[in-house]
Structures are given as C-alpha cells and as structure tokens.
Amino acid sequence: MKNLSLKELNLGLASKKFSSVELTKFFLNEIKTFNPKINAFITVDEEKSLQQARDADKRISQDNMNELTGIPIAQKDIFCAQGWKTTCGSKMLDNFYSPYDSKVIELFNQSGAVNLGKTNMDEFAMGSSNETSYYGEVRNPWNLDYVPGGSSGGSAAAVASGMAPAATATDTGGSIRQPASLCGLTGLKPTYGLVSRFGMIAFASSLDQAGPIAKSAEDCALMLKVMAAHDTRDSTSIKQNIPDYLKSLDNPIKGKTIGLPKEFFNDDLNQEVKIVLEQVIDSYQKMGVNFKEISLANSHLSIPVYYVIAPAEASSNLSRYDGVKFGFRAKEFKDLEEMYLKTREQGFGEEVKRRILVGTYVLSAGYYDAYYLKAQKIRRLIADDFKNAFKECDLILAPSCPSTAFKIGDKTEDPVSMYMQDMYTISTNLAGLPAISSPAGFINKMPVGFQLIGNYFDEATILNFTHQYQQITDWHQKTPGADV
Amino acid sequence: MALTDKDIKKLSHLAKINIDSKDEEIVLSKLEGIIKLIDSMQKVNTDNIDPMSHALDITQPLREDVVTEKNQKNDFLKLGPESNEDYFIVPRVVE
C-alpha cells in the first residue's frame, strides 16, 4: 500500500482488495515506525481516524464513493478540525481544540477521506526549514541531518517517507513548493482565491493559499478537485467553475510555449540547479514544446516587498493571540497590560516575534508610506510583469529553490539567508498566480525540483504539463533509500 | 534607517510583546538586517503606480444581514483561559 498512487488506492478500495480500516491501520503503523525519527506529525488520533475509516467502509459498501473516499490524508496543523488539537506549530495554541472545521477539512470529510493526523510546520507558517515549530524540527526523509523545507515541512516529510499517501499544505511565499522540491515531491499552490481560507489559521491574508503536496501531478489533480470550492465564509473566495483537473492531464502539449525569465536564468542561479533545469527544458523540447525568453524585470524586488507585506499582515492577524479568548496565557502578571506583554513574549517563538515587530515597524506612524505603501506599489509592478509575460507564453518555467536541502541549524542564526530560500517562489504569491514544483532530479543524492507558473486559474494547464513530464521521467517515483 | 534601543522599546509596546532587556541588542541587530533588506525597495521609482492591496481585482461580496452560523457560545467560552457564564475574565482594569 505504501507507494500506491491515490488512483491505485481508490481502485484497491473500490475492488475490496483492502478496506479503509486496513489502509488506515497500515499508515498509522508507518507513523508509529517512522515518526519518532522524522517528527512529521504533531497530533495523531488513532480512534478518530479509524472511526472515519469505518464510516468510509460503510459508504464504499453502499457504492457511495468518490475518488478520495476511505483514503487517509495528512492535514497540515494550520487547518482547524473539529475536536482535533490545532496548534499551527505554536505554544500559543498548544491547548487549542478547534470547535469547528475549516472549509478544507469539511470538504475532505464530505468526500469521505480519513484525517490521518495533523502535520508539523513552522510556527504560524513562518519559516523555510520547519525549525521554528514549537514541536521540534522535522527531518528530511532523504537525509535525517537535513531540513525538509518549510513551512509545510511536516506534510512533505510525511508523504516522502511513506507515512501518508498525500497531504494538505499552505503557501504564503513558497511553503508548498519549497518543501516539495526539497523532499522530491509534487506540490501545487493554486491561484489565490481558489481554495477557501475559512478556518485556515491566518498568516498573511492577501498571500495565504492552500494546496496539496503529493507524489505526482495526477495525485495533486485529485486533491485539488476536492479542495477547490467557492465558500461564502471567505470573502476572497472566487466563484469559479472548477474544471475536472484529471480530464485534462493527457491533453496534447505539442506546439505550446513555455517562457524562460531571463532574470531567473542569470549568473546567480546555482550551476547544479541550472544543469537540472536544462534537462527539464530538453525533455519538454522533445515533446514539441517551444521555449521563449521573457522578462520579469521586477522579480528581484519580491523578497523585500514580501518582507514588508507579509509581516505587516501578520502583525495585524496575530494580534488576536492576547491570552483572553483562547490559547496560552502567561501565569504571572500584575495587570492587563503585563498579561498581554508576557503572554505574547512566552507564547510566540523568536521568528514569529521578529515578524510581528517588523510588521509593527513598517505600519507605524511615519513609516507607512515609505514601506507599506511603497511595497504595495512594487507589488503591482511585479504582477504586471507576469501579465505581460503571459501574452507571450502558456506557462513560465523557473527554479523552485536556490539549492537542495540544507543542514539542520545551518541558517537559523541568519534570518535574511533563510528568507532567500523563497527567492524564486515569492513573486507568484505577490501576483496571486498558481505554480507547481515537480521533482526534476538529484544533486548529491538530495532531490531538486523545477517550477511551472501558470496564468490565473489555469491550474489545469500546469497539471497537464507536469503530468506529461512525469510520463517520460521517473524522478517523482523515487523514494528515500533509492539509489539516486 | 538605523534602529535604536528606543525604537525597540516602542515596538515592544506597540506589538504588546515584552522584550527582556538582555535580549534587546540581538533583537535589534536581527531587525536591522531585515530593515536593510527591505530598504532596497527605496531606489525604485513608483510615481503614478497604484498600490496593489489584493491579488485579484474583486469587490467585497455583500449578503443579507442575517445570522448564518449556529450559536456555539458555550464552546467558545470554554476555550478561554478564564471565563464564567457569559464573559471572558481578564485582570481588573477599572479601579
């Protein structure tokens, strides 16, 4: 059951080769074996999972099943799930049991999927290595001394190690694509507004978007089909016809055009990553795809712009953690003011506090125009670059990350060097565009991915191109321990 | 712009996060690194550019002003570190 695709698991369940209870028990057992080393899960609740599996088996016996019925899915601990501890990787929420389901959890429950457990993550999704979690760092299944990436590092490590068939994740600046690249998986960040943010704990509301991390484009297509839905409880959720992403996977790609941003393929690009990307280009050319140089002239400004906008929104969103209505409260204080100060000092980790302080600074009197407004203006320039680029091409090819995974502890002392991890992913969040990272090879036995960026709501084309690449390569089928 | 100890104290107050005086120096040096990073925006000419606050050009959806969620008052009150019947309890603020 370990390396089967979601489609194969669906067929196995439909043909009664195995039951959902058997399948769920199998993965719970894998978690027992591997999680102590990898630390991908914060919360596992066998009884809750098995109850859902029994319900799924009942549905299957009544022929009332769809693609994900009975399949265990790991859920990032950013999604509120009723009755489940939902921590967002923070001490602040260590005692928080959600009284309601997020829209994403609701959709998986409706489809009959089994919640396999809540995955580890950087605290409040702020990080690129999964080292900022209150629950300890997650380890990369390809080499336990290395980070899995972040912030969805637990989701990526769970799937890469075979503890889960697929997982949910979220991406504010690269938190789906970067861990997917570092763990040898396929991860899709949809267009902003495609997946509801209701009940998804907020970091930077104008950038946050949920999506899947899985073993292939086909699995991502199946996951997205469940996750994408209009939701009136999220005022930024878009009313959009959701296409059947599976149906277009085999569409012909011959004669289509992929843009190559000259700003990404310059001397700053890691030479080993460049060689891998050239092989990807070669594979697409063999399938009859044309390449064209394009320009994203303002992309180098993405990181500074992001580190104004994201902390500004975070400082506002995280003001709700005040020790009054839910979550952690400091034990000793002399008055209300001190209760706030100490609760937030003790409840938040270093990186979260740092970003709240940066956000407070850029929004404070006298600096608003110089930082926040300036960043919003450059954000438009970045988005306009993409709009112009898509007049000339169907998709854009880019590196996913500057390098393969780095060693645990290597970047924790220098926040700015950690921020550079997202230099190729952040611009799409600022523009709101969809993008995927797909496995493309290995450098020194560690996985490396490539990124395909699509036009607004064109997830179908992204998945189609990625699937076609995965038909002629087998990088996505490699699992840790394989000779690579 | 160079930050000072005074700035850190002001930010700590505004953000309602206590910063231990022994940590001020390290907090300051790391924040300065980030401010330096974001200051690289300043050289870009953004005259006549409209600020972009949202990824998509959408307008706020409106709906009838009716209750749509079920009442979970007691569930939510239970989540508070300290609550009684209808209230979350905080330290006394009015003498």
Exposed e or buried b per residue across B68-92, where buried means at least 16 C-beta atoms within 10 angstroms of its C-beta:
eeeeeeeeebebbbebeeeebebee
pLDDT classification of A72: cutoffs 50, 70, 90 = very high
Asked if residue B89 is part of any domain, the answer here is no
Asked if residue B49 is part of any domain, the answer here is no
Asked if A236 and A207 touch (Cβ cutoff 8 Å), the reply is no
Asked if residue B91 is part of any domain, the answer here is no
SS3 state at A474: coil
Predicted pLDDT of residue A368 = 92
A-chain CB neighbours of B40 within 8 Å are 301, 304
Predicted pLDDT of residue B94 = 84
pLDDT above 80: residue B58? no
Distance between CA A264 and CA A299 in Å, rounded? Answer: 9
Q: Is B19 on the interface with A (CB under 8 A)?
A: yes
pLDDT above 70: residue A50? yes
Q: Domains, chain A, ranges and CATH? A: 6-252+454-477 (3.90.1300.10)
Q: Is B65 on the interface with A (CB under 8 A)?
A: no
Q: Which two tokens stand for residue A27?
A: 């993965």
Predicted pLDDT of residue B57 = 77
Q: How far does A207 lie from chain B, in Å, by closest CA?
A: 8
pLDDT above 80: residue B15? yes
Average pLDDT along chain A? 97
- Which whole number is the average pLDDT over A310-316? 98
pLDDT classification of B61: cutoffs 50, 70, 90 = confident
How do beta strands A186-189 and A435-443 pair? antiparallel
Predicted pLDDT of residue B69 = 84
In DSSP notation, B53-92 reads: -SSS--------S---S---HHHHHHHSSSEETTEE----
SS3 state at A63: coil
Using alpha carbons, select from A463, A4, A441, A27 the residue that is nearest to residue A211: A463
Radius of gyration of chain A (CA): 21
Mutation pick from A208, A352, A358 vs chain B, by most beta carbons of B within 10 Å, is A358
The Cα angle at residue B75 between residues B73 and B77, in degrees rounded to 5: 65
- Which whole number is the average pLDDT over A50-64? 97
- Which whole number is the average pLDDT over A123-143? 98
What is the domain extent for residue B32? 5-42
A-chain CB neighbours of B57 within 8 Å are none
More confident call, A483 vs A429: A429
Asked if residue B23 is part of any domain, the answer here is yes
Domain count along chain B = 1
Asked if residue B78 is part of any domain, the answer here is no
Q: Looking at the partner chain, which of B16, B34, B52 has a beta carbon nearest the beta carbon of A341?
A: B16
Residues of A marked active site are found at 76, 151, 175
CA distances from A286 to A220, A274, A467 (A): 24, 18, 15
Indicate which CATH number applies to the domain containing B12: 1.10.20
pLDDT digits (tens, 9 = 90+) for A207-223: 999 999 999 999 999 99
Asked if residue B32 is part of any domain, the answer here is yes
pTM given for the model: 0.97
Q: Is B94 on the interface with A (CB under 8 A)?
A: no
Is B61's CB within 8 Å of A232's CB? yes
* Stretch among A73-77, A316-320, A365-369, B43-47 having the lowest mean pLDDT: A365-369
Asked if residue B87 is part of any domain, the answer here is no
- Which whole number is the average pLDDT over A188-198? 98
pLDDT above 80: residue B1? no
Asked if residue B84 is part of any domain, the answer here is no
Q: Which residue of B has its CA nearest to A194?
A: B56
pLDDT above 80: residue A43? yes
For A374, other C-beta atoms within 10 Å of its C-beta total: 23
